Amino acid sequence: MRYFIELSYRGTAYHGWQTQANGTSVQTTLEAALTQRFGKPMYVMASGRTDAGVHARQQFAHVELVEPFLFTDSFIYSLNCILPEDIVIHRIFPVREKDHARFSATFRYYQYLISRQKSAFESGLTYHFRPTLDEILMNEACKILLQHTNFQSFSKARANVTHFNCRLDFAYWERINEDSLTFHIRADRFLWGMVRTIVGTMIEIGQKRMSLELFEQIILSRDRNKAGRAAPANGLFLVEVGYPNEVLLARSMGQGAGFI
Protein backbone atom coordinates (compact mmCIF):
# COMPACT_ATOMS: atom_id res chain seq x y z
CA MET A 1 0.00 0.00 0.00
CA ARG A 2 1.32 3.42 -0.98
CA TYR A 3 0.36 6.62 0.81
CA PHE A 4 1.04 10.26 0.00
CA ILE A 5 2.16 12.55 2.82
CA GLU A 6 1.34 16.25 2.41
CA LEU A 7 3.59 18.39 4.57
CA SER A 8 5.22 21.79 4.97
CA TYR A 9 8.45 22.89 6.59
CA ARG A 10 10.68 25.81 7.37
CA GLY A 11 14.04 24.85 5.90
CA THR A 12 16.28 27.16 7.96
CA ALA A 13 17.61 24.46 10.29
CA TYR A 14 18.04 21.76 7.64
CA HIS A 15 20.66 20.81 5.07
CA GLY A 16 17.93 20.47 2.45
CA TRP A 17 15.34 17.76 1.91
CA GLN A 18 17.59 14.82 1.06
CA THR A 19 19.36 12.71 3.67
CA GLN A 20 22.88 14.05 4.20
CA ALA A 21 25.96 12.40 5.70
CA ASN A 22 27.09 15.60 7.39
CA GLY A 23 23.90 17.33 8.51
CA THR A 24 20.25 17.07 9.48
CA SER A 25 17.76 16.91 6.60
CA VAL A 26 13.98 17.13 6.39
CA GLN A 27 13.82 13.60 4.95
CA THR A 28 15.84 12.10 7.81
CA THR A 29 13.72 13.92 10.41
CA LEU A 30 10.44 12.80 8.82
CA GLU A 31 11.64 9.19 8.49
CA ALA A 32 12.75 9.17 12.13
CA ALA A 33 9.28 10.28 13.28
CA LEU A 34 7.55 7.63 11.15
CA THR A 35 10.00 4.98 12.35
CA GLN A 36 9.37 5.89 15.98
CA ARG A 37 5.58 5.82 15.52
CA PHE A 38 5.46 2.54 13.58
CA GLY A 39 8.27 0.82 15.47
CA LYS A 40 10.12 -0.24 12.32
CA PRO A 41 12.30 1.50 9.69
CA MET A 42 10.31 3.77 7.38
CA TYR A 43 11.50 5.49 4.19
CA VAL A 44 9.94 8.24 2.10
CA MET A 45 10.33 9.59 -1.45
CA ALA A 46 9.59 13.30 -2.09
CA SER A 47 8.27 15.17 -5.12
CA GLY A 48 11.65 16.88 -5.36
CA ARG A 49 14.68 17.89 -3.32
CA THR A 50 14.81 21.38 -1.87
CA ASP A 51 18.23 22.87 -1.10
CA ALA A 52 19.60 23.76 2.33
CA GLY A 53 17.62 26.62 3.84
CA VAL A 54 14.76 26.44 1.31
CA HIS A 55 11.21 26.25 2.68
CA ALA A 56 8.09 24.39 1.53
CA ARG A 57 4.52 25.51 2.05
CA GLN A 58 3.44 22.35 0.25
CA GLN A 59 5.57 19.26 -0.28
CA PHE A 60 4.53 15.69 -1.01
CA ALA A 61 6.30 12.45 -0.23
CA HIS A 62 5.14 8.87 -0.44
CA VAL A 63 5.62 5.99 1.97
CA GLU A 64 4.86 2.29 1.51
CA LEU A 65 3.29 -0.05 4.04
CA VAL A 66 2.88 -3.82 3.84
CA GLU A 67 -0.78 -3.62 4.87
CA PRO A 68 -3.51 -0.95 4.62
CA PHE A 69 -3.47 1.48 7.54
CA LEU A 70 -6.00 3.93 8.95
CA PHE A 71 -4.35 7.36 9.18
CA THR A 72 -6.73 9.11 11.55
CA ASP A 73 -6.49 12.74 12.64
CA SER A 74 -5.27 11.60 16.05
CA PHE A 75 -2.52 9.49 14.47
CA ILE A 76 -1.32 12.43 12.37
CA TYR A 77 -1.48 14.62 15.48
CA SER A 78 0.79 12.14 17.27
CA LEU A 79 3.27 12.29 14.40
CA ASN A 80 3.29 16.08 14.55
CA CYS A 81 3.99 15.89 18.27
CA ILE A 82 7.10 13.82 17.50
CA LEU A 83 8.26 16.14 14.71
CA PRO A 84 9.97 19.46 15.50
CA GLU A 85 7.83 22.59 15.22
CA ASP A 86 9.29 23.54 11.83
CA ILE A 87 7.91 20.41 10.09
CA VAL A 88 4.15 19.77 9.87
CA ILE A 89 2.23 16.87 8.33
CA HIS A 90 -1.17 18.00 7.02
CA ARG A 91 -2.58 14.79 5.53
CA ILE A 92 -1.70 11.20 4.72
CA PHE A 93 -3.92 9.57 2.13
CA PRO A 94 -3.89 6.40 0.02
CA VAL A 95 -2.96 6.41 -3.66
CA ARG A 96 -2.61 3.78 -6.34
CA GLU A 97 0.49 1.60 -6.50
CA LYS A 98 1.64 3.35 -9.68
CA ASP A 99 1.31 6.87 -8.22
CA HIS A 100 4.71 8.30 -7.40
CA ALA A 101 5.46 11.47 -5.41
CA ARG A 102 8.19 12.51 -7.83
CA PHE A 103 7.39 10.99 -11.20
CA SER A 104 3.61 11.55 -11.11
CA ALA A 105 4.01 15.28 -10.39
CA THR A 106 3.03 17.50 -13.33
CA PHE A 107 4.42 20.80 -12.03
CA ARG A 108 6.28 22.52 -9.18
CA TYR A 109 5.49 26.11 -8.25
CA TYR A 110 8.04 28.27 -6.40
CA GLN A 111 7.96 31.77 -4.99
CA TYR A 112 10.92 33.93 -4.02
CA LEU A 113 10.37 36.75 -1.51
CA ILE A 114 12.43 39.94 -1.38
CA SER A 115 12.00 42.74 1.18
CA ARG A 116 13.81 46.08 1.44
CA GLN A 117 12.99 46.32 5.15
CA LYS A 118 14.39 44.14 7.91
CA SER A 119 11.71 42.33 9.91
CA ALA A 120 11.92 40.82 13.36
CA PHE A 121 9.21 38.31 12.41
CA GLU A 122 10.33 37.26 8.92
CA SER A 123 13.98 36.57 9.64
CA GLY A 124 15.09 33.65 7.50
CA LEU A 125 11.87 33.76 5.47
CA THR A 126 12.69 36.54 3.02
CA TYR A 127 15.75 38.00 1.32
CA HIS A 128 16.53 41.36 2.92
CA PHE A 129 17.82 43.34 -0.08
CA ARG A 130 17.97 47.12 0.28
CA PRO A 131 18.64 48.47 -3.27
CA THR A 132 15.62 49.51 -5.31
CA LEU A 133 14.64 47.03 -8.05
CA ASP A 134 12.82 47.83 -11.30
CA GLU A 135 10.22 45.07 -11.53
CA ILE A 136 9.11 46.30 -14.98
CA LEU A 137 12.53 45.44 -16.39
CA MET A 138 12.56 42.18 -14.44
CA ASN A 139 9.20 41.23 -15.94
CA GLU A 140 10.58 41.96 -19.40
CA ALA A 141 13.32 39.46 -18.56
CA CYS A 142 10.61 36.97 -17.60
CA LYS A 143 9.09 37.29 -21.06
CA ILE A 144 12.46 36.40 -22.55
CA LEU A 145 12.83 33.49 -20.13
CA LEU A 146 9.48 32.05 -21.22
CA GLN A 147 10.65 31.87 -24.83
CA HIS A 148 13.29 29.26 -23.94
CA THR A 149 13.37 25.67 -22.72
CA ASN A 150 17.07 24.98 -22.06
CA PHE A 151 18.23 26.45 -18.75
CA GLN A 152 21.70 25.01 -18.39
CA SER A 153 23.01 28.52 -17.71
CA PHE A 154 21.03 28.57 -14.45
CA SER A 155 21.93 25.07 -13.26
CA LYS A 156 24.74 24.17 -10.89
CA ALA A 157 27.64 22.71 -12.85
CA ARG A 158 27.58 19.43 -10.92
CA ALA A 159 23.93 18.72 -11.66
CA ASN A 160 23.54 15.02 -12.48
CA VAL A 161 20.85 15.21 -15.18
CA THR A 162 20.47 13.86 -18.70
CA HIS A 163 19.15 17.16 -20.10
CA PHE A 164 18.54 20.78 -19.09
CA ASN A 165 15.12 21.31 -20.66
CA CYS A 166 12.19 22.54 -18.58
CA ARG A 167 8.68 23.55 -19.59
CA LEU A 168 7.91 26.87 -17.93
CA ASP A 169 4.21 27.57 -17.32
CA PHE A 170 4.71 31.10 -16.01
CA ALA A 171 7.34 33.40 -14.55
CA TYR A 172 6.66 36.93 -13.28
CA TRP A 173 7.45 39.43 -10.54
CA GLU A 174 4.69 40.83 -8.34
CA ARG A 175 4.99 44.10 -6.45
CA ILE A 176 3.38 43.46 -3.04
CA ASN A 177 4.07 46.95 -1.67
CA GLU A 178 6.79 49.57 -2.01
CA ASP A 179 9.18 47.41 0.02
CA SER A 180 8.30 43.87 -1.08
CA LEU A 181 8.60 41.85 -4.29
CA THR A 182 7.65 38.24 -4.99
CA PHE A 183 8.90 36.16 -7.90
CA HIS A 184 6.50 33.47 -9.16
CA ILE A 185 7.67 30.59 -11.34
CA ARG A 186 6.10 27.25 -12.27
CA ALA A 187 7.52 24.45 -14.41
CA ASP A 188 7.28 20.72 -14.97
CA ARG A 189 10.76 20.34 -13.43
CA PHE A 190 13.57 22.48 -12.07
CA LEU A 191 17.32 22.07 -12.27
CA TRP A 192 19.59 22.15 -9.24
CA GLY A 193 19.83 25.78 -8.07
CA MET A 194 17.81 27.02 -11.06
CA VAL A 195 15.31 29.34 -9.34
CA ARG A 196 17.85 31.01 -7.08
CA THR A 197 20.22 31.62 -10.01
CA ILE A 198 17.43 33.08 -12.14
CA VAL A 199 16.49 35.39 -9.26
CA GLY A 200 20.10 36.41 -8.68
CA THR A 201 20.54 37.21 -12.38
CA MET A 202 17.28 39.16 -12.58
CA ILE A 203 18.33 41.21 -9.56
CA GLU A 204 21.21 42.40 -11.73
CA ILE A 205 18.65 43.45 -14.36
CA GLY A 206 16.46 45.13 -11.73
CA GLN A 207 19.44 47.23 -10.65
CA LYS A 208 20.12 48.08 -14.33
CA ARG A 209 23.50 46.42 -14.13
CA MET A 210 22.61 43.92 -16.85
CA SER A 211 20.76 44.50 -20.12
CA LEU A 212 17.92 42.36 -21.42
CA GLU A 213 20.05 41.58 -24.49
CA LEU A 214 22.84 40.22 -22.28
CA PHE A 215 20.29 38.20 -20.29
CA GLU A 216 19.18 36.38 -23.44
CA GLN A 217 22.78 35.85 -24.48
CA ILE A 218 23.41 34.20 -21.11
CA ILE A 219 20.49 31.82 -21.67
CA LEU A 220 21.74 30.93 -25.15
CA SER A 221 25.32 30.43 -23.95
CA ARG A 222 24.31 27.48 -21.73
CA ASP A 223 27.20 28.52 -19.48
CA ARG A 224 26.57 28.81 -15.72
CA ASN A 225 29.65 31.01 -15.29
CA LYS A 226 27.99 33.80 -17.26
CA ALA A 227 24.84 34.00 -15.09
CA GLY A 228 24.58 35.98 -11.87
CA ARG A 229 25.13 34.78 -8.33
CA ALA A 230 22.46 32.55 -6.82
CA ALA A 231 20.15 34.45 -4.49
CA PRO A 232 20.18 33.29 -0.84
CA ALA A 233 18.11 30.22 0.01
CA ASN A 234 16.06 31.84 2.78
CA GLY A 235 13.76 33.70 0.36
CA LEU A 236 12.72 30.60 -1.62
CA PHE A 237 9.52 28.62 -1.04
CA LEU A 238 8.10 25.56 -2.76
CA VAL A 239 4.43 26.53 -2.63
CA GLU A 240 2.59 23.92 -4.69
CA VAL A 241 3.16 20.54 -6.33
CA GLY A 242 0.66 19.52 -9.00
CA TYR A 243 -0.66 16.02 -9.74
CA PRO A 244 -3.36 14.61 -12.03
CA ASN A 245 -6.83 14.75 -10.44
CA GLU A 246 -7.02 10.99 -10.05
CA VAL A 247 -3.91 10.99 -7.85
CA LEU A 248 -5.37 13.51 -5.40
CA LEU A 249 -8.90 12.10 -5.45
CA ALA A 250 -8.48 10.33 -2.13
CA ARG A 251 -7.29 13.55 -0.50
CA SER A 252 -10.29 15.53 -1.76
CA MET A 253 -12.62 12.84 -0.40
CA GLY A 254 -11.03 12.97 3.04
CA GLN A 255 -9.09 10.37 4.96
CA GLY A 256 -11.85 7.79 4.74
CA ALA A 257 -10.79 4.38 6.02
CA GLY A 258 -7.34 4.62 4.51
CA PHE A 259 -8.12 2.04 1.80
CA ILE A 260 -8.46 2.20 -1.98
Binding site listing for substrate: 110
Determine the Cα–Cα distance for residues 22 and 97; give it in Å rounded to an integer: 33
Residues marked as binding? 110
β-strand 168-177 against 55-64: which pairing, if any?
unpaired
Identify the active-site residue in 51, 134, 179, 188.
51
Q: Is 51 a catalytic residue?
A: yes
Task: Kindly list the catalytic residues.
Answer: 51
